[in-house]
Structure 1
């Protein structure tokens, strides 16, 4: 079976798994939107749109939208389903089948890309009542969805790597918590140049910062250079995680 065909077949299976467990998608939407409402409610009046330069004339919700998208994209369930396959013996049967190791990795990640794009589009639509608009237009909206999907694949690939290395649901679940400190070590509430020096250094060293700033540039029309950097960082992380997944599964005992 070719890699492309195997990836498509396993991706469809992963999407059916997600469709059969819609309750697993509820936190993916509820928690990010909850933080959007809370953050805007707490800081919206501190940063009025007509006197805050970094908002580019939009409300504070537009500034917070990228953090909401990143949070929504970091709830991928592929790794937990993978642990279930390992514990149930299906994973060993899959490795014995005429399916390439790359397809086994990419199948679930393909499903995460589809889910990530759909959830991102839904989050943007649900944020419209907060007076959010994507200043770069339809093209910018589509790029925002693609960038969110790439990050969803990158983070899901990281969790899959944890699952393959530990074969433990508890360890995989713990690995998903890594995103929260990474999210808060970003220019989440204000631009990077308004952070204290130690926090600015931490944010500069944090790769999530550049993905967030790329998304924010699309929402606020704040420069295409930041968009390019955001895509480059997300793509490099994604490629590295996929390569480590493939290497791990080929050496899987």
Structure 2
């Protein structure tokens, strides 16, 4: 019986797969009710970074905290979105190490539903973090100088690219031995990417060799595109490059992650 269930799960129809995926996505969201610290972490950390960077470094970097806030908030949105992909990786790893996937695979459900459900749930959390950070930034004085459509476009682009880049975190989460190693490996990957980009400071201020890397860094192009959509500037080229990077992350890391996931399942 135990060996027949996974085989049956492969024959789940598209409609049933969607329903199962959404059910498991709801499960991940409902967990916040029982673990409110997750929502607090999702809410407090972005605000803490915004306050620290604006009022500690803003004057030194831009001459005034107001000018730096206008520059840095779009970059902080990018940084926060990419850092939050760590939560997806840690959550998947926790489900594996605690045997949740063993229980799910005994059910006649699509094998990809647990993975897709968590990713969808984390997308909703990304939208919450985006709205919270923009709203708090406006309280501090940030202004969207383009349009509502530009703001919506920034959110859409950020979600698409961060979800694509999340496949790297998902792969790490599936391969690592425990959540602590997931956090260490993924954080060590995301930290250099974000801090060697134009997300928080203009890349022209870097040494030549670092500026050269920053100019090809996917986080730089994403931050520039989000900045252009929210406060003005070039959008088409950095947005296109960001989408190409997103496609590359999906093509490279999604098949690897799905293969590892199926081996677990």
TM-score (norm 2): 0.81
Aligned residues: 245
Cα deviation digits, residues 151-210 of structure 1 (max 9, x gap): 443454332221211242121121331211211111234333443211111212322111
2:225 to 210, 214, 217: 214
Partner of 1:141: 151
RMSD of Structure 2 on Structure 1 (CA): 2.4
| Counterpart residue number, 1:47 | 62
Q: Which residue of 2 aligns with 1:75?
A: 84
2:9 aligns to what?
none
Query: Which secondary structure state, in structure 2, belongs to the residue aligned with residue 180 of structure 1?
Result: helix
Q: CA deviation at 1:236?
A: 4.0
Aligned: 1:32 with 2:46: yes
Displaced runs of 4 or more, over 4 A:
none
Matched-pair contact (CA < 8 Å) for 1:28–1:72: no
In structure 2, what is the Cα distance between the partners aligned to 1:156 and 1:34? 23
Aligned residue for 1:229? 241
- 2:199, 2:78 → 1: CA distance? 11
Distance 1:19 1:4, change over 3 A: same
Is the contact between residue 20 and residue 110 of structure 2 (CA under 8 Å) also seen in structure 1? yes
Asked if residue 164 in structure 1 is aligned to residue 174 in structure 2, the reply is yes
Structure 1 residues 236 and 15: alpha-carbon distance in aligned structure 2, compared to 1, 3 A threshold: farther
Q: Distance in 2 between matches of 1:80 and 1:19?
A: 18
Q: Residues 145 and 232 of structure 2 are in contact (CA less than 8 Å); yes or no, is this contact kept in structure 1?
A: yes
Provide, for residues 92-143 of structure 1, a one-character-per-residue CA deviation record: whole Å limited to 9, x for no partner.
2222322223322211100111110111011100100232122221111112
C-alpha distance 121-240 of structure 1, shift in aligned 2 (>3 A): farther
Mapped to 2, the partners of 1:72 and 1:25 lie a distance apart of 14
Residues 150 and 161 of structure 1, relative CA distance in 2, 3 Å threshold: same
1:250 aligns to 2:265 (yes or no):
no
SS of 2:62's partner is coil
Higher mean displacement: 114-123 or 36-45: 36-45
* 1:153 counterpart (158, 163, 166): 163
2:119 corresponds to 1:109: yes
TM-score, length of structure 1 as denominator length: 0.85
Contact kept, 8 Å, 1:70 with 1:151, in 2: the verdict is no
Aligned mates of 1:114, 1:96 — CA distance in 2: 28
Matched residue of 2:264: which SS?
A: coil
**Structure-2 residue corresponding to 1:55:** none
Instruction: Structure 1: state its 5+ residue gaps.
Output: 50-57
